[in-house]
Amino acid sequence: MTKLTVLPNSFLTLNYRLTLPSGEDYINTFIDRPATVLMGSGQFAPCFEKVLLGLSVGEKKSELLEPGESFGDRKEDLVQWVSLKALKEGRDDDAEFNPGDVIEFNAPGGAQYAGVLQSIDDEGAWFDFNHPLAGRAVTFEAEIVAIL
């Protein structure tokens, strides 16, 4: 009998953890419940899928991913000002916005994107549209629970 391994189109269940350089967990499914992922579907970043390829059930792997391999470098041009009118568009009149909030916006064509509110005043707000882990190395650790 051949041993099942993770392939580019595998449907699998796994536990995984993303750890920051400080040792703080960003995501940890080991303490909650495993995730189920269809490889190649965009559910998982390609850098994580690459680590999983070839692993078999019960196998565990950990890899340090530099910013260029994972979420990219921080780009200062992705810190942008948004007018209060644009911010409130399509939202309830009593919606509250506080620094640190992740706010979703609709892009032309129906796509959505999100930014972290940095500061706000009566005219508008500054948002950081970088991925929260941009510019940071992360350790990706995974254990394959099942290959379905």
- Helix boundaries (H) for the chain: 46-52, 84-88
In a domain, 52, yes or no: yes
User: Which pLDDT does position 75 carry in this prediction?
Assistant: 95
Same domain, 35 and 20: yes
Domain total of the chain: 2
**Claim to verify: residue 15 and residue 66 sit in the same structural domain:** yes
59 & 33 share domain = yes
Please name the residues in contact with 78: beta carbons below 8 A apart, sequence gap of 6 or more. 128, 129, 130
**Residue 43, domain extent:** 11-72+134-147
> The domain spanning residue 109 has which CATH number?
2.40.10.330
pLDDT tens sequence for the chain (148 residues): 568 899 999 999 999 999 998 999 999 999 989 999 999 998 888 999 999 999 999 999 999 999 999 999 999 999 999 999 888 888 888 888 999 999 988 777 777 888 999 999 999 999 999 988 899 999 999 999 999 8
Residue 88: the pLDDT is: 86
Output the pLDDT for position 86.
Answer: 86
In this structure, the answer to whether residues 67 and 138 fall within a common structural domain is yes
The pLDDT of residue 89 is 83
Same domain, 115 and 95: yes
Return the CATH number at 21. 3.10.50.40
* pLDDT for position 112: 81
Q: What is the distance between the alpha carbons of residues 143 and 70, in angstroms, rounded to a whole number? A: 19
Instruction: Specify if 2 maps to a domain.
Output: no
